[in-house]
Structure 1
């Protein structure tokens, strides 16, 4: 049975239990929060009858941000949802209406072959169906308020969604990554995500503090699922954000900067994994985090380069 009408949906991106979207159900009406890639559309639609809904019962598709693993399927999915509006950060809205630049940026990071294989076709969303999310604004799902806050740090087009009914945040990537394979007797293991190209450590710290100020009971992460307790996890994230910024600076002048960043991040996460009592060996932990270590290294490099240009 869904907790507070919240259904966790596996989008199937990359591997099981890696990329989640959420379906909220209230009094026979539905809202998706994120939707995965275009390849996830069948899974999103299949979740509706399982939750007692038809496509016409969905009022909202809310995007935490427009990175393709969260939002790439929005244009394709909304074609099947005749009554749904798309709620998106003001910086993300133009990319949903015309995804050409978004695709170009993602292709630069991942390559054209990977985009085609993992993301499918990214379709535009009709402008008339796009609603701009305000910082501190809210929408209604059959009388159930959903509050949106501007939460930069991972991306400047990022918002998080507060559901007062469950006292929970839907955090996209602002509140880090926590994979169920890395749970231990101490609970969830969590790491920040600094993936390219808009990582800003101070903004991310401030966003996490802002989320914690609501005294939430749980966080619903895209990668992956519901985690708690938020306060302890948030403090762990802030410690790591500071550590990641420091190790990035230590690698900055190295001719092998990227290799240095990858090695330093791997060491940081393994050290924390040992302290957390994760019941996997180092090779297995590194394998679970390999993609994120690579992307975090790239994101830290982007942050260093922007800081240098600004100086």
Structure 2
């Protein structure tokens, strides 16, 4: 794989191909990973490093956008392979990397022990002395290449995004939504939807975070789900419109006995209609199938938000 601006997208292998990306940045013989997938992703991360002619000892940073397990579940296992790396993470996320017990317990309660082992593997703690907490506006350097880290709540309260001036691009985690390559239209234009995964979705902070990213007039966004996208002004506008739309759908379903089913149905209809209008080369069933897990998680996250709002 040939890097652009020293940036390599890595398919972590989580869930399905071209679903979950991590990134390797290379600068003057030094490396930084941004997100890392699960414990099962460690071989892919190390293979990407070797593919760029670097050894594990040449990695200075593992930067996490947030600590949801598809982004950070393999952090401890990967750090065991990187003797000189520092883990950089949001202040709210750092305690969960040092002692992942609560993170593991919460995920196990949702998925069960068997699914946790199958999908995520072991969640390994990271020694506190190897963790750097990143406050809003902190800059870290990779061999003299500055990387600006900013607080971007809305998807999660422990979310940060990373600005790389060299490529004029953001590493967005889940703040800038989901854009799978199967949905690109005949002109190669990407399709995007927001992600409201439980449990910390907040619509107004998320819209503010998206606007903050757009304010730098980026040339591209590097998404975890999935990879690099351009045309970011259009996508950002689309995300804000859709956040308002899904909030309206959630409010309409609230108080109904079949709230969850209504939300899943209405979200599916919204995204299928938008994919069709975009010219995605998929039929309605394929759109619904590829987005089924995301729609289920979005519905759950919207319900958590509704219940929190009602308190």
- The answer to whether 1:105 aligns with 2:106 is yes
Q: Distance in 1 between matches of 2:186 and 2:149?
A: 33
> What is the Cα deviation at residue 141 of structure 1?
0.2
> What is the Cα deviation at residue 254 of structure 1?
0.7
Tell which deviates more after alignment, 50-59 or 109-118.
109-118
- The answer to whether 1:257 aligns with 2:274 is no
Alignment of 1:40-189 (within 5 A): 40-185=41-186, 187-189=189-191
Q: Distance in 2 between matches of 1:209 and 1:85?
A: 30
Deviations 1:192-245 (A, max 9, x none): 000110000001000000000011000000000000111100000000000000
Indicate the residue corresponding to 2:4 in structure 1: 3
Deviations 1:31-60 (A, max 9, x none): 000000001011111111101100000000
Alignment of 1:207-286 (within 5 A): 207-286=209-288
Q: Distance in 2 between matches of 1:175 and 1:106?
A: 23
> What is the Cα deviation at residue 103 of structure 1?
1.0
Aligned-pair Cα RMSD in Å: 0.7
Indicate the residue corresponding to 1:25 in structure 2: 26
The SS at the match of 1:289 is: helix
Deviations 1:97-131 (A, max 9, x none): 00010111222332322211100000000000000
Query: Under a length normalisation based on structure 1, what TM-score does the superposition of the two structures give?
Result: 0.98
> What is the Cα deviation at residue 185 of structure 1?
2.8
The SS at the match of 1:149 is: strand
Structure 2 unmatched ranges of 5 or more: none
The SS at the match of 1:65 is: coil
Structure 1 unmatched ranges of 5 or more: none
> What is the Cα deviation at residue 11 of structure 1?
0.4
Query: Under a length normalisation based on structure 2, what TM-score does the superposition of the two structures give?
Result: 0.98
The SS at the match of 1:7 is: strand
The SS at the match of 2:140 is: strand
Q: Distance in 2 between matches of 1:266 and 1:113?
A: 29
Q: Distance in 1 between matches of 2:112 and 2:310?
A: 26
Tell me if the contact between 2:186 and 2:281 (Cα under 8 Å) persists in the aligned partners: no
- The answer to whether 1:291 aligns with 2:303 is no
Deviations 1:54-89 (A, max 9, x none): 000000000000000000000000011011000000
Indicate the residue corresponding to 2:193 in structure 1: 191
The SS at the match of 2:141 is: strand
